[in-house]
Amino acid sequence: MNIYIETLGCAKNASDSETAAGILEAAGHVIVKSPAEADGIMVNTCGFINDAKKESIGRIFDMTEYKKNGGILIVSGCLSQRYGEELYKEMPEVDIFLGVNDYPALPEILNNHVKGKREKYFSVYEKGFLETGYRKRTDNGYSATIKIAEGCNNVCAYCVIPSIRGPYRSKKMEDILKEARQLAEDGCKELILIAQDVTAYGLDLYKELRLAKLVKELCRVEGIQWIRLMYCYEDRITDELIEVMATEEKVCHYIDIPIQHVSDKILRSMHRRSTKASILNTIGRLRKAMPDIHIRTTLITGFPGEDKDDFQELIEFIESQKFERLGVFTYSKEEGTPASKMANQVREDTKQKRKDLLMTKQLEIALSSNEQKIGTLLEVLVEEAEEDGSYTGRSRYDAPEIDNTVLFSSDFLCMPGDIVNVRITDAFDYDLVGRTEE
């Protein structure tokens, strides 16, 4: 069967889609790049916040157009796991619903599927990390995420992920290293470590934080040139981890730390372990050890009880800390979470206004940060060769799809996956411009 996979949501979902593709291909199915070519279509959904849910439902309905030729429509992922019973009743167009733990059973489900019969599978999570084997890379081969854990033990008041993905389960270190070596053999140069909480790695499996040790071992994998850390919780960024980041050449001086807020009152309401003081301490330690480090963070504005003083504290914080990379979400009221029942819910228009103010401030900070790079020489990973002979890529300070791009020209031929030196000649809010140097 020819199968097309549509992926929505975060990098963890993309990794799940690659896992599903590998499982299907190993069973004799063919993964195709267009729904028009497919006999079966799988939509891997996101169910984290309201906007993501709306997008997922919209894409499911979009894909029903391709069922006119008798194809099978499969819905999987977080939205399916969270609302599967409701969706099963309300979306008769969908043939098969899967949860986030059911990809290994997909070949058998398809083999036994009877045309016209609707099915649903919502298994509970495994006790440990479920190792599923080869992932089929559907995008570029030179940059890859590597999921080091599944689930989450944090109890943030606004988040539904633990109820969808289950408790935290670390992947065995030897299995991560095996996967990294395989990716390197396939031409991968950049490893991006992902999990719901990367910094909690090892606590369940080894009874200690093992991220620093894992990163050090990954640095020994031949062929890997960049290692990037995403989804790090501030309170588990240890001195050992900072030392590894500062001393290991392959580790990008880049870290993603979703702090969500800085008002101690709001952090307590969110059930976050961090405080304003601990956040400032961690940022200070990172910048002292790596003066060039680029910190990405995300903020939530409009959380229940956030007043003008809390918001002003947030504004002053980003003005003083000048994060090189920052994103802002408006609080999304999710049923089943403690925050959904809290008093003092903030009006939608107020949330949006606050988000816009934060992003306006960040635009100035981002431009200033980029302008400081004019004249510097950056390592750039080539991603696209344009028709006019120019190129698009990313520096060590940029994660794919969410951060800056570098637009550059070159006197010599560059291929996607090459890492080249680029002298920066101009800067914009979220882009840099330059030219290669030998």
- The answer to whether residues 378 and 425 touch, using CB atoms and an 8 Å cutoff, is no
377-437: in CATH 2.30.31.70: no
According to the model, what pLDDT value does residue 393 have?
97
According to the model, what pLDDT value does residue 130 have?
62
- The answer to whether residues 322 and 364 touch, using CB atoms and an 8 Å cutoff, is no
According to the model, what pLDDT value does residue 183 have?
92
- Which residues of the chain does CATH 2.40.50.140 include? 377-437
Q: Which two tokens stand for residue 177?
A: 């290293």
CATH topology of domain 2-121: Rossmann fold (3.40.50)
CA–CA dist 369, 377 (Å, integer): 15
3-state SS assignment for residue 437: strand
According to the model, what pLDDT value does residue 128 have?
66
- Which residues of the chain does CATH 3.40.50.12160 include? 2-121
Tens digits of pLDDT across the chain (438 residues) = 899 998 888 878 888 888 888 889 999 999 998 888 898 999 999 876 778 788 888 988 888 888 767 789 999 988 898 888 888 998 899 999 998 888 888 989 998 888 888 998 887 766 666 666 666 766 678 999 999 999 999 989 999 888 888 899 999 999 999 999 999 999 999 999 999 999 999 999 999 999 999 999 999 999 999 999 999 999 999 999 999 999 999 999 999 999 999 999 999 999 999 999 999 999 999 999 999 999 999 999 999 999 999 999 999 999 999 999 999 999 999 888 999 999 999 999 999 999 999 999 999 999 999 999 999 999 999 999 988 889 999 999 999 989 999 999 999 999 999 999 999 999 999 999 999 998
Q: Are strands 190-194 and 226-229 parallel, antiparallel or unpaired?
A: parallel
- Which residues of the chain does CATH 3.80.30.20 include? 143-371
CA–CA dist 8, 76 (Å, integer): 10
- The answer to whether residues 197 and 152 touch, using CB atoms and an 8 Å cutoff, is yes
143-371: in CATH 3.80.30.20: yes
